[in-house]
Amino acid sequence: METSIHCQLHQEYQVQYIFLNQNNIKFGCIECISDLQDENHNANIFKNIFLLHDIQSSPQKLLTQISNIDDQNLQFYSCLHKKTETIIMQTFQNWENNMRNFQKKIDNIILQQKEFVEQLLINYKNTIKQLQQEIKFEEFQNLIKEFGTANEKLQNDVLEQISHKITQHFESLDKNNAKELNESLKRIKQEYINQAENLNQPDIQELQTSFQQLIKSTNDLYSQMGKSFNYITQMNSSLIPNSYSKYLLGLIKNKLNQDIKQIKLLYLGSRDGLNGQSLWNKIDGKKHLIYIFKSKNPGNNIFGSYISCKVNQDLNNWQSDESLSSFIFSYTHNEIYPLKQSQKQHAILCQPISYAVWIGMSGNIGICNDFINGQSYLGSSYEWDKFENQRSSHLFGGDSPNIEECEVYELQI
């Protein structure tokens, strides 16, 4: 869409812009724009002016000129950006560099570890060799050989001589209470230990830092892909696989009968502090929250909840879920426990002074501010077919939650 047509008003400049005003389509140059800027301080006038070069790579911009275009369509297409390719390739490049860097570090650690093991082996073999010298092992070995040949021929007198020589061999090593030998052995032992201690054991600390970077840059890549390509990526949870997060999001979409526009990690226990106050600081005033917990109890149970109503730390009371879309889930047991209709007023208790998380009457998921204590009365407010009107260890894998990690995501609907 490049032109070499000169502007009618400013002959020295080429046409670069199209002015799309209804019933009055005009072409213009940079000087025309400059004139307009001088005359108008109202930015609205530029709304219908398009750089010809620009609309070539972003034809979606022309949709604004069609008066009956559906708003949702317009929103979707205007999010697609002409810089998408550059941005996404940069982010991908960055991710690839981090990956390759990690790979190099692993290769390097393997080499170092191999060298370390080889050095230890050399030291070990050296020491055995020195020991052999000190106890005159070769002489001893020769006596054994001699004994073997003599034995075959059953020469009793020779056998007696050899036995005597062997006894003498040990006696000579033992002379002066083995003072000399003990000193030598001590010296060799000390050399062996010094050698081993002076070798550098490879450090894997750096590998951990690289691995953290890798996770971060993978998250950056996924979130950039979501933004650039205008679609919802998965949660990238470190606790549940993406396939399960897709399943949860599908359930929520069905229950709400609405699209999820964006997913945001609001709170991460290991990053923000695994305590009630840190959690509430991050989630106060938010709605459509997905909580995911991992327990330290045997079995490392993973469970959580989707709470659709707003959580409010000043409420000091129950928050009800009129939509009845909230539910508890157990990833470990692959089960969903929906909020009971008769219990919709007990969706979640907003009482930060007592509890970090208190979902359903008596705490179907009940977690104290220390994330260690609490209880699970699963089934009282959220439907569980094995509910026996008492606490259970079904969700936690133990009597108390004993939480190791917690993630909270906010869905933008």
Q: Which residues make up the interface to Zn ion (CB under 5 A)? A: 7, 9-10, 28-29, 31-32
Residue pair 222/233 in contact (Cβ under 8 Å)? The answer is yes
13 or 116, CB closer to Zn ion?
13
- Residues present in the chain in total: 413
Q: Please tell me whether residue 390 adopts helix, strand or coil conformation.
A: coil
26 or 255, CB closer to Zn ion?
26
Exposure class string for 16-31: b at 16+ Cβ within 10 A, else e: bbbbbeeeeeebbbee
1 or 193, CB closer to Zn ion?
1
Bridge partners, residue 20, by sequence: 25
Least CB distance from residue 14 to Zn ion, whole Å?
9
12 or 157, CB closer to Zn ion?
12
Residue pair 302/286 in contact (Cβ under 8 Å)? The answer is no
d(CA 167, CA 163): 6
Least CB distance from residue 48 to Zn ion, whole Å?
16
Dihedral (C-alpha) 220, 221, 224, 229: value to the nearest 10 degrees? Answer: -160
Q: How do 335-338 and 302-307 pair as beta strands?
A: unpaired
Least CB distance from residue 12 to Zn ion, whole Å?
9
25 or 128, CB closer to Zn ion?
25
d(CA 22, CA 65): 9
Residue nearest to Zn ion (CB): 7
26 or 310, CB closer to Zn ion?
26
Q: Which helix (H) or strand (E) holds 76?
A: helix 71-79
Least CB distance from residue 17 to Zn ion, whole Å?
9
d(CA 291, CA 305): 5
If one counts every other C-beta atom within 10 angstroms of the C-beta of residue 215, the result is 12
Least CB distance from residue 4 to Zn ion, whole Å?
14
13 or 92, CB closer to Zn ion?
13
